[in-house]
Amino acid sequence: MKSFRRRIHDLYANLRSTVQYYPKVESSPRNSTNVTIIPLIETGSEEIPCALEERYYNQTSTSKLIRWPAVNLHRIQNATIVGDQANIFTPDGKWLRVCPSLVSLPLKKVRPPIYIGANRLAMPLFHLSGRDHENHGHFLFQHMPRWLAAHKKMKELNPHFKILVAKGHQKWQSRYLLKTGGESGQIIECGDGTTRCDDLFYIPQLRSENECLSRPQEYRDINEYIHRPHAKTGPSLFLSRKDAPNRYLLDEPAAIAEAEKVFGNIRVLELSKTPLDEQISLVSQAPVIIAPLGQALAISLFARNSIFINLDGGNGPDPWGDAFRNVANICGNQAISLYSKSSRTKDGSFTFPRHELQQMLENVKKLVQ
């Protein structure tokens, strides 16, 4: 249920939208007197080999070139943030839009601040909310790299800063932050209304507008923090989507049965019901991880030397399917996407023909033995 503050902000935004009175945009804040630009990362690129797919599909090269722009840490004095996505407004009332995730966000959907009755946070804050913050895959792939890229510089600038995350998500996001250099008591939630921030530090996502992934080094850093070296003595895993709102593998039990024929004992996991430490332990020991396309495949960030098999509908490729494959490869695994060649339903669900799936899995097994 929406809070009273959220309802007031929505009403105010709708009234402004009716008369097309939208916020002005600040996309080049370098000359602003209230914004300090701190260079962090130079523009660059890295080629990610996809050796398993290359062998499976008998292709000469399936490597992925990941590019990223130059990235700066922005220090905004007397900033204002609005909503759980914490859209930032500079003191002159302009919406700060320097992140690739915001380029396609319509101005009519940007709720402007309401300064009367606004909250105030005086301590230094590191901004870690934004678009799609509520999704585990987006948070791990697009927001956590912001933290990994900036936290050492933040400690140099002011070791007493707080990490500002979206309202209602502190509990689960803290689990990742505490494993990657964050400290207990350091993580706080923003509100769903307007908050004035005396000293706000902000880094945009480390990717270009058309890329799903950030700079690969931050994924390796996450893996270095979280992975637990272990012999591959555990069962293989099948990551279920029964707990997902859409994009189901409609014949999931049949797919699991085919996977067991090929890889032996399979443990089925619903990640929403599995504590993070147990996820890390299981994936560290699992020789093979199979899953329909979805955010559960972000578990590859915790693994090394495993085989990741992404099951997808249609004929492929899929941008996010490629992203999950690429992150698995970046972290030292072997990954491949297999396509059902069957059409998807309106909500993205699909079936995977049993005989074709078994043959595909057998072929993958031959390649990795």
Whether residue 239 sits in one domain with residue 92: no
The tokens for 92 are 């002159």
> What is the tens place of the pLDDT at every residue in 69-89?
999 999 999 999 999 899 999
Whether residue 333 sits in one domain with residue 275: yes
pLDDT of 127 > 90? The answer is yes
Whether residue 170 sits in one domain with residue 82: yes
Pairwise CA distance, residues 134 & 246, whole Å: 16
Could you give the number of structural domains in the chain? Answer: 2
Task: Write b or e for each residue in 40-51: b if 16 or more Cβ atoms lie within 10 A of its Cβ, otherwise e.
Answer: bbeeeeeebebe
Average confidence (pLDDT) over 293-304: 95
> Which pLDDT does position 110 carry in this prediction?
92
The tokens for 336 are 């491949």
Whether residue 277 sits in one domain with residue 175: no
Residue in the block written with tokens 């578990």: 299
Whether residue 310 sits in one domain with residue 197: no
> Which pLDDT does position 205 carry in this prediction?
97
The tokens for 335 are 């990954």
Whether residue 257 lies inside any domain: the answer is yes
The tokens for 310 are 């992404």
> Which pLDDT does position 63 carry in this prediction?
84
Whether residue 163 lies inside any domain: the answer is yes
pTM score: 0.94
Whether residue 126 sits in one domain with residue 9: yes
Residue in the block written with tokens 């380029």: 103
Give the CATH number for residue 235: 3.40.50.360
Q: Which of 204, 238, 256 is the last residue of a domain?
A: 204
- Model confidence band, residue 1 (pLDDT cutoffs 50, 70, 90): low
Pairwise CA distance, residues 13 & 95, whole Å: 14
Whether residue 189 sits in one domain with residue 259: no
Q: Which of 148, 173, 204 is the last residue of a domain?
A: 204
Whether residue 45 lies inside any domain: the answer is no
Whether residue 215 lies inside any domain: the answer is no
Whether residue 240 sits in one domain with residue 358: yes
pLDDT of 164 > 90? The answer is yes
Q: Which of 149, 173, 204 is the last residue of a domain?
A: 204
> What is the tens place of the pLDDT at every residue in 3-47?
778 888 888 788 888 888 889 999 999 888 899 999 999 999 999
Whether residue 166 sits in one domain with residue 128: yes
Whether residue 161 sits in one domain with residue 14: yes
Whether residue 14 lies inside any domain: the answer is yes
Residue in the block written with tokens 């792939």: 141
Residue in the block written with tokens 């935004």: 13
Look at residues 289, 296, 299 and name the one whose alpha carbon lies nearest to residue 364.
289
Whether residue 221 lies inside any domain: the answer is no
Average confidence (pLDDT) over 90-119: 93
The residues that bridge with 5 in the sheet, in sequence order, are none
Domain residue limits at 360: 227-368
CA distances from 32 to 26, 47, 96 (A): 9, 36, 11
Whether residue 273 lies inside any domain: the answer is yes
Whether residue 287 sits in one domain with residue 166: no
Task: Write b or e for each residue in 52-62: b if 16 or more Cβ atoms lie within 10 A of its Cβ, otherwise e.
Answer: bbebbeeeeeb
Whether residue 139 lies inside any domain: the answer is yes
Whether residue 247 sits in one domain with residue 164: no
Pairwise CA distance, residues 353 & 338, whole Å: 12
Q: What percentage of the chain exceeds 90 in pLDDT?
A: 86
Residue in the block written with tokens 């992203």: 323
